[in-house]
């Protein structure tokens, strides 16, 4: 290099104007970074052991209440029935296909049945208890 690069000029101008170059942040980094690297590799006094175990997925539920459920995962696909909400109350459901398109929805004041297909998301609202038929 010829000594006229941007850094050389910057430091030469600072020196000519009487300004000192501050080195303490770089010195601090030079001390802290290696310590952090060493600390990241030293986890404990004992070597880590594998703790993962294979567990079968839980079976989909046959009874559901208010909330968001995924047919085939959270709840069993098929025909579901409800006795409806209590007197003067309302409950309902909204079925959404895997691609996010709403398939069906209903607001209920009495007994009802609905078919939940595998892969659909089902949002149950109100105080109804739904049971797989």
10-residue mean pLDDT profile of the chain (133 residues): values are: 73 83 80 82 62 78 93 93 88 92 92 93 92 91
How many angstroms separate the CA atoms of 99 and 133, rounded? 26
Report yes or no on 72 lying in a domain.
yes
> The tokens of 9 are what?
């000029």
Report yes or no on 127 lying in a domain.
yes
Arithmetic mean of pLDDT over the chain: 85
Report yes or no on 102 lying in a domain.
yes
- Whole-number percent of the chain with pLDDT over 70: 89
> Containing domain of residue 70, as a range?
63-132
The pLDDT value given to residue 45:
57
Report yes or no on 96 lying in a domain.
yes
Q: Please provide residue 30's backbone torsions phi and psi, each rounded to the nearest 5 degrees.
A: -65, -25
pTM exceeds 0.75 for this model: no
Domain count for the chain: 1
Report yes or no on 89 lying in a domain.
yes
């Amino acid at each position: 290099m010829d000594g006229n690069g941007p850094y050389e000029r910057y430091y030469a101008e600072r020196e000519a104007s009487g300004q000192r170059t501050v080195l303490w942040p770089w010195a601090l980094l030079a001390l802290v970074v290696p310590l952090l690297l060493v600390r990241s590799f030293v986890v404990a006094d004992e070597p880590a052991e594998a703790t993962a175990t294979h567990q079968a997925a839980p079976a989909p539920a046959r009874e559901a209440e208010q909330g968001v459920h995924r047919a085939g995962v959270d709840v069993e696909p098929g025909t579901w029935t409800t006795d409806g909400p209590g007197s003067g109350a309302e409950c309902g459901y909204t079925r959404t296909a895997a691609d996010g398109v709403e398939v069906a929805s209903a607001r209920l004041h009495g007994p009802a049945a609905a078919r939940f297909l595998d892969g659909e998301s089902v949002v149950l609202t109100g105080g109804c208890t739904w049971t797989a038929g």
